[in-house]
Amino acid sequence: MSSTDYLNNISLYFSMYVGVFILVIGILGNIFNILVLLSLKIFRENSCAFYIKAMSCLNIGQLLASLLPRILNLWFSIDWSVASLAYCKIRMYVFQVCTVTSFTCMCLATIDQYLTTCSYPRLQRLSNIKFAYRCFTIVMLFWILHGILVLIYTNYVVLSPAGDYICGISNKIYQNYNTYGFILVLISSLPVLITVISGSLAYHNVTQLAYRAIPLVRRELDKQLTVMVLVQVVFNFCVIVPYIIAYMINLYANVSKDSYSYAQIQLLRSITINTFYSYFAVRINDYL
């Protein structure tokens, strides 16, 4: 077996086994997140906890729409997107809406923790469950409408004169937007930037809570939620930044598909894609 074939096999088996592990842990973990946050009364009326519950529901949808079909294709060579254009469009749509809305909820959760721990009463008043409901509704509607474009421009794309085709984006302009705007900005760079900044500000506010005249229960709740969000922020940074780097390398590397360098890039991409999926599988309530 050549070195190139060896790397290709490692990439394949890594995606197969790690993908199954992430899918199972992710679905069970997100369900557990939802149950725990719903069962504790103190979290049912908390705006940050609401964003986390919404994010957990969206994470389940993302894993089922994106990771599950990927695993079925790797294990059983089942690709329903080739057999049905309608399925392909719906899968791409659900993947896009769930992914970008999940990241938006994470951003809103970190911003909410900054607001609720802020010393300014005007900003604190923005952190409430009614505002969170309205904010989430607006965000969800926006991303649902935003996703209509992927329904329009997802079609069968011919790969070769022999007639081989895949389900993908047929419009060149929208393809560029999907590559640079959606993948490299909306679901990677921008969420990392927003969560790191707002998470850092929330952490600074929490360190000042001991000097403020606020109830002990409220203080401990703010600390718990802030720690929970900050752990998620650090985790996001660790899994998303490598994904961005690998995606850029794969995008701009000019190497032959039969070369050893290409196999190395694909192995790197396989590892970073699966670690990226682990964002949707992490159990936040472990840090309560």
Q: Which tens digit of pLDDT belongs to each residue from 258-273?
A: 778 888 888 999 999 9
Cα–Cα distances (Å) from 2 to 9, 70, 182, 263, in that order, read 11, 26, 37, 11
Three-class secondary structure of residue 221 per DSSP = helix
User: Does the pLDDT at position 167 exceed 80?
Assistant: yes
What's the pLDDT score for residue 163? 63
The pLDDT of 173-195, averaged and rounded, is 93
What's the distance, CA 250 to chain centroid?
A: 20
User: Does the pLDDT at position 219 exceed 80?
Assistant: no
What's the pLDDT score for residue 104? 96
Q: What is the pTM of this model?
A: 0.90
Lowest-confidence range among 11-20, 69-78, 114-123, 146-155? 114-123
Three-class secondary structure of residue 46 per DSSP = coil
Give the H/E segment covering residue 69: helix 68-76
What's the pLDDT score for residue 243? 92
Residue pair 164/158 in contact by the 8 Å Cβ criterion = yes
103-115 tens-digit pLDDT: 999 999 999 988 8
220 or 167, greater pLDDT: 167
5-49 tens-digit pLDDT: 888 899 999 999 999 999 999 999 999 889 988 887 777 888 888
What's the pLDDT score for residue 84? 87
- What domains sit in the chain, N to C, each tagged with a CATH number? 7-79+96-127+183-287 (1.20.1070.10)
User: Does the pLDDT at position 137 exceed 90?
Assistant: yes
Q: How confident is the model at residue 161 (pLDDT cuts 50, 70, 90)?
A: low
Residue pair 119/208 in contact by the 8 Å Cβ criterion = yes
Residue pair 157/167 in contact by the 8 Å Cβ criterion = yes
